[in-house]
Amino acid sequence: MPMTFAPADADALPLYLVAADQFEDWVADQADATRKWLEAQGFSGALGAACLVPGADGAPALALAGYGTAAHRARGRFALAAAAMALPAGTYRLQSDLTGDALDQEALGWLLSAYAFDRYREQGGSVAQLVAPEGVDAKRIEAIAAGEALTRDLINTPSSDMGPDELEDAASGLATEFGASFDVIKGDDLLTQNFPMIHAVGRASTRAPRLIDMRWGDTGPKLTLVGKGVCFDTGGLNIKPGASMGLMKKDMGGSATVLGLARMIMALDLSVQLRVLIPAVENSISGNAFRPQDILTARDGKTVEINNTDAEGRLVLADALVYGAEDKPDLMLSMATLTGAARVAVGPDIAPFYSDDDAVAAAITAAAGRVGDPVWRMPFYEPYEAMIEPGIADLDNAPKGGFAGSITAALFLRRFAGDTARYTHFDIYGWQPASAPGRPKGGVGQGARAVLDALPEALGL
């Protein structure tokens, strides 16, 4: 099903959104036949419940979607999406008292419920369509849904079909769609053009490493998005155990998320000078793989001691961040599936982020609440800087001890973000471990919708 709204003039069935604690009042105003039907069906407004009510001729006359209680809604997102999954195929017109952010969230959730990753087999997204509710900016909601679908598709695709070549193709296709410029530095050209750490991480693979560079827009503040594009991560010579390698197709989730965000920005024609940088590599094992105790030199001359080849994401991001900072953006933002420590700290749903600008951080936090895209600000805690300084080189890519792993990774990245750029980093998971309304099990965007909503305040648009 398309992740778009039905035409406004569609013949649509009224869909009443009824909360559990308001159901008795609502049903008291209905015809006797409707009350008896709902009683027989056991419908009481429970969260995610759905019911069709027949008219005198036996055909559906209206539909109901349960909205649960405030306490139940607080424990999840996209309550209407749960009902959308339970409704039969058809077109519906929402009848509710929702307005503003709450209405926008539920309308988006409905569109997201139609998502299904069906590249390899048919899957079961919602087959019900919704007319855009009055008061909803349909173009914006559809653009957000399309960007999220792109992110999910990229993450869900296995590495056999989503290596650096295919990731480049996806970014190139997006650039073509929106008239953006596109450039790629590939293979040994990374060395001649001074991206040594991207090359070092990706050189062991049969699929050449590269730096993808897309630019769009020529007016407004400069916004640079940097996404980790590790298309598969074996761990390198510090090879991962099998259980840890099982989900490594999603290690390019940062690049998938910034491409999804870029799609939203371009589709909405925001007044920014957008740049997307993606170091795309596969961290593999062969005779020329980089080794523990190697010392690599980054694009800006900083030296990095390798104490774990499985901490490779920060290495490829470092060269890209240096390159991005050379352009002096007004805001530079990186997204990466970077550390297990972040998952231990906040679990799979919350996207922890770091920012050296309080105004940007406040804008993102406020936006996350409005759009239902949970984030949590973490500290660039400077007393931990010593943990990433090994002595033999400028920096250590994998401090020993295991403490504060997400913080030390963020501090490492900040060393390469330049002195002039406001810098924000997201340590995302990029995966929905169990199906939820609007979010089937599999790849998922995190932080992108919050950033999109925060951009007007963060950049003064």
Query: What φ, ψ does residue 65 adopt, rounded to 5°?
Result: -125, 130
Measuring CA to CA, which residue among 197, 195, 280, 201 is closest to residue 235? 201
Contact 223/338 with Cβ under 8 angstroms? Answer: no
Measuring CA to CA, which residue among 319, 286, 278 is closest to residue 300? 319
Contact 80/104 with Cβ under 8 angstroms? Answer: no
Catalytic residue among 215, 250, 263, 314: 314
Strand locations in 250-326 (E) = 273-283, 295-297, 303-305
Summarize the chain as % helix, strand, coil (round to 5): 40, 20, 40
Distance CA 43, CA 49 (A): 7
Return the axis-axis angle of helices 138-156 and 164-178, rounded to nearest 10°. 160
387: region left, alpha or beta (phi > 0 left; psi from -120 to 50 alpha): alpha
> Which residue reads 């019911």 in tokens?
51
Query: For residue 195, with 0-12 CB atoms within 10 Å meaning exposed, 13-18 middle and 19 or more buried, which class applies?
Result: buried
- Residue 275 known to be catalytic: no
71-101 burial, b at 16+ Cβ within 10 Å, e below that, comes to ebeeebbbbbbbbbbebeebbbbbebebeee
Distance CA 151, CA 140 (A): 17
Measuring CA to CA, which residue among 70, 66, 68 is closest to residue 43? 66
Measuring CA to CA, which residue among 388, 379, 382, 391 is closest to residue 409? 388
- For residue 191, the surrounding DSSP H or E stretch is helix 189-192
- For residue 27, the surrounding DSSP H or E stretch is helix 23-28
Tokens of residue 409, six digits: 């990774």
Distance CA 125, CA 118 (A): 9
Measuring CA to CA, which residue among 417, 396, 445 is closest to residue 277? 417
- Residue 439 known to be catalytic: no
Catalytic residue among 73, 140, 240, 370: 240
Tokens of residue 139, six digits: 């173009």
Q: Which residues contact 129 (CB under 8 A, 6 or more apart)?
A: 1, 5, 6, 10, 90, 91, 92
Distance CA 95, CA 398 (A): 54
**Looking at the annotation, which residues are catalytic?**
240, 314
